Structure 1
Amino acid sequence: MVDVLVIGGGNAALCAALMAREAGASVMLLESAPREWRGGNSQHTRNLRCMHDAPQDVLVDAYPEEEYWQDLLKVTGGLTNEHLARLTIRASATCRPWMQKHGVRFQPPLSGALHVARTNAFFMGGGKALVNAYYRSAEAMGVAVQYDTPVDAIELDDGRFFAARSGERRFEARACVLAAGGFESNLAWMREAWGQNAAGEWPADNFLIRGTRFNQGVLLKYMIDAGADVIGDPSQSHCVAIDARAPLYDGGICTRIDCVSLGVVVNRQGERFYDEGEDFWPKRYAIWGRLVAEQPGQIGYSIIDAKAIGRFMPPVFPGTTAATLDELAQKLGLPGEPFLRTLADYNAACRVGTFDHTALDDCHTEGIAPAKTHWARPIDTPPYYAYPLRPGITFTYLGLRVDEHAAVHFGGQPSDNLFVAGEMMAGNVLGKGYTAGVGMSIGTAFGRIAGARAATAALHAAQATQGRGQHHATA
């Protein structure tokens, strides 16, 4: 029997395993994926949102707690637990030296990563390098790692953990950390969560999964059925508008379309449906997946002209190009008259001031709905470009309710030896919406808390068992 069993293989699980091992506990980590696909969605990440009151190596200026909190409050629309959110924010200010101790390296932001040099610390080599560094450190410290081991059941008694099961295999431990991700890769569950729309469509049938194919939600469903306290809306998720030509799973960051704020987005009827310039892209990119999901056929098209080229991180697939807007509509299969009318109305409504894509500038529209609040310039300079958009799900927000100790709750009571971290509890902080890098902040903060608490619980249990053994020996 090990002291601490960690179920999951991404950032939160690895942080928990490392913290528990540092505390002196014996640790085993169970990863459902094979070794080459280890790391969950963390392998597709690239940065961590960090609070800081002064410049810190790769972070410029300052990003104080209150600004971070207001950013989070805005994107969630208030659907967040302030106590747990502020705990996450404060933890983000102090975690990087610990991460570096375990081999994670940071770099300045890439030139196309808009507006995040101040708020986000980028991993050198991306999420895959972070995951590999943590696994190297864990293995060097004596953490036992089992790949190809999806857990399908947990043995519980009155909220206490006793063992995990993977098929016929059974893993006992004195304490456990659940960090096995959400259910976004379970397409049947996604279909059930989103249901049918008014047009009779099943929106989830047209979703793409940006992250790992291994997040099937089996353990999450088991815990819900076992009576664990739940938080979050099953239809809410980190949902990004990505290239419609992306693969079903594991497209990662390179399939994101980052030119939305530089042009307009239309649906398959050739009509605009939301303000493309509402705010900086890192604060708004994660609303666009849901916006596209609400459109007919769950598809949209990001339209730009030559003026936008070079101002955004180019996606992996080239855009559709045309010398005229009419030709572009034909190539996209869009109805020509509505599309051209939408673009003409938009161009006429643009009030161009001083264009500055690094600031909330004064280029806006007047007299049309939806408005474009910033960065509004006529789309009038050929060649014209279009990128097809589909909803890209990163991770789901339905999860287990926690407290500041990361304990799983049953009927409002915290378990004394079962903890949860990462996407399985992110809904406590993210009721809806997203801002770049906050998922890694949540996973790192609660992974470290869960690992430390699990180690304490396990070592106390071991001491109690040893004490009982000595008592029986002397009796």
Structure 2
Amino acid sequence: DLQHVTGGNTSEQLARLIIRGSVEITLWMKRYGVRFQPSLEGTLQLGRTNAFFLGGGKALMNAYYSAALKLGIGVLYNAEVEELHICDGKFKSGKMLLNGQPAEFRAKTLVVASGGFEANLEWLEKVWGEAARNFIIRGTPYNKGKILKLLLDHGAEPVGDPKQCHAVAIDGRAPKFDGGIVTRLDCVPLGIVVNRYAERFYDEGEDLWPKRYAIWGRLVAQQPDQIAYSIFDSKVIGRFMPSVFPPIAASSITELAAAFGLPPEKLESSVREFNQAVRPGRFDHQILDDCRTEGLNPPKSHWAQTIDRRPFYGFPLRPGITFTYLGVKVNERAEVQGLGRNTNIFAAGEIMAGNVLGRGYLAGFGMTIGSVFGRIAGREAARAAGC
């Protein structure tokens, strides 16, 4: 699956290391207070591949911080790194703003796990152009890529395409930052998606949703004004995880078009053409079923049902950026490459995910990379420090 979604743009050595490490990672997480829940159902189809922690990401982080405090690990809040002093590839010291005041820190080793540049709107615009102004940042506003840039400026070897990222289709009504998973929309495979001209532009049923949900942010980003609309009817309500915002409901396609400011005749035409192309089959949104279209461009390969049962519904879609793929190259010991053979700088998480995710995504794989390489980086950093 990873080879398929990345098009082979991945480090097979590191990918296999992560996959092997994922086998035992949940047991390690449980030892430090992380609790898991049964698999979610619906369009995600993740029961075979993914484990879900109870309470989401906030509960996960609370468990980790609680475990760290019990081990005597200190945590500095409101601490923003400004400079890194690296000499002959080795970290010596750094400068930060601690509660707004200048401060210095030193360590025998350094682990960077500071994410990409997804919250740096200026950097995004340099890469994507004006389209980036319409992007929504799903997480924290603080991942601006400052440490990533510092490392690259010091000669760390870059990896990953700056324009590649994990981007999903999210509710266009979401806030600019920190909307989280409750704004993600998983209704795409169950209807049609049109742009501002009410035209379909991609196969909504190309593959199982865990292998395709992370391409839809990019697809929407490529549309005029970076906006699209998911259109479906009452037959599929309840078959996908809902957004925190309710769908727009209408008694007719014309009324739905008016609610979104779409050309009514064109949306009616797009829905009519789609309905006429739907071929009979046995609908099952949990598998690659045989409900498809015929003679339609773009086609819908699976889960194609006529949109004809009132009321009709729709969601506005925007590109939601989760994390960027540009990072620093690492080896199997999580050592940052390009700084010298004896570097004491290690990396984990999104800042090195581009080693494995050259493009594309698999559901949950970012968490897996961070968890497995977080352990590796911590272990190797402790070893390098003589602990």
Q: If the length of structure 1 is used for normalisation, what is the TM-score?
A: 0.79
Question: Is 2:129 aligned against 1:129?
Answer: no
The equivalent residue for 1:378 is 306
Task: Indicate the SS of the match to 1:150.
Answer: strand
Q: Classify the secondary structure of the residue corresponding to 1:166.
A: strand
Alignment correspondent of 2:216: 288
1:39-95 Cα shifts (integer Å, max 9, x gaps): xxxxxxxxxxxxxxxxxxxxxxxxxxxxxxxx1112112111111111111100011
1:295-314, aligned counterparts within 5 Å? 295-314=223-242
| Structure 1 moving runs of 4+ over 4 Å | none
Q: Is the 8 A contact 2:164 2:359 kept in 1?
A: yes
In 1, are the aligned partners of 2:278 and 2:306 still within 8 Å (CA)? yes
Give the alignment partner of residue 44 of structure 2, picking from 107, 114, 117.
114
Secondary structure, aligned partner of 1:308:
coil
Please name the residue that 1:361 is paired with: 289
* Residue 113 (structure 1) shift: 6.2
Secondary structure at the aligned position of 1:433 is classed as: coil
Query: Which position in structure 1 is the counterpart of 2:140?
Result: 212
Task: Tell me the CA shift for residue 206 of structure 1.
Answer: 0.1
Identity fraction in percent = 58
1:429 aligns with 2:359: no
Aligned AA for 1:179?
A
Could you say what secondary structure the match of 1:434 adopts?
A: coil
Partner of 1:251: 179
Matched residue type, 1:215: N
Counterpart residue identity of residue 89, structure 1: I
5 Å-filtered alignment, 1:328-347, equals: 328-347=256-275
2:107 pairs with 173, 184, 187, which one?
173
5+ unaligned residues in a row in structure 2: which ranges? none
Matches within 5 A, 1:460-475: none
Whether the 8 Å CA contact 1:302–1:389 is kept in 2: the answer is: yes
Deviation at 1:416, TM superposition (A): 2.9
Whole-angstrom distance in 2 between the partners of 1:310 and 1:356:
14
Change over 3 Å in CA distance of 1:341–1:172 after alignment to 2: same
Deviations 1:124-153 (A, max 9, x none): 111111100010000100111101111121
Determine the structure 2 residue equivalent to 1:104: 34
Change (3 A) 1:367 1:414: farther
Query: Contact conserved, 2:42 with 2:285, CA < 8 A, in 1?
Result: no
Structure-1 residue corresponding to 2:199: 271
Q: Report which of the two structures shows the higher radius of gyration computed on alpha carbons.
A: 1
Instruction: Compute the displacement of 1:234 (Å).
Output: 0.9
- Range that drifts further, 159-168 or 105-114: 105-114
Match of 1:157 in 2: 87
Q: Is the 8 A contact 1:161 1:417 kept in 2?
A: yes
- Match status 1:438 vs 2:372: no
Aligned residue among 251, 257, 279 for 1:351: 279
Q: Are 1:182 and 2:116 matched, yes or no?
A: yes
Q: Structure 1 counterpart of 2:112, which letter?
A: L
Name the residue aligned to 1:26: none
Alignment partner, residue 11 of structure 2: 81
Q: In the alignment, what sits opposite 1:399? A: 327
Deviations 1:151-179 (A, max 9, x none): 12111011111112104211111111011
CA distance in 1, matches of 2:16, 2:95: 35
Q: Paired residue for 1:8?
A: none
Aligned pair count reads 383
Q: Which amino acid aligns with 1:437?
A: G
Separation in 1, partners of 2:291, 2:338: 52
Q: Does the 8 Å contact 1:409/1:415 carry over to 2?
A: no
Alpha carbons 2:43, 2:286 under 8 Å: kept: no
The two structures, once aligned, show a CA RMSD in angstroms of 1.1
Q: Quote the residue 2:347 is aligned against.
A: 420
**Matched-pair contact (CA < 8 Å) for 1:156–1:162:** yes
Give the counterpart letter for 1:161 in structure 2: F
Residues 89, 152 of structure 1: CA spacing in aligned structure 2 closer, same or farther, 3 A cutoff? same
Q: CA deviation at 1:257?
A: 0.7
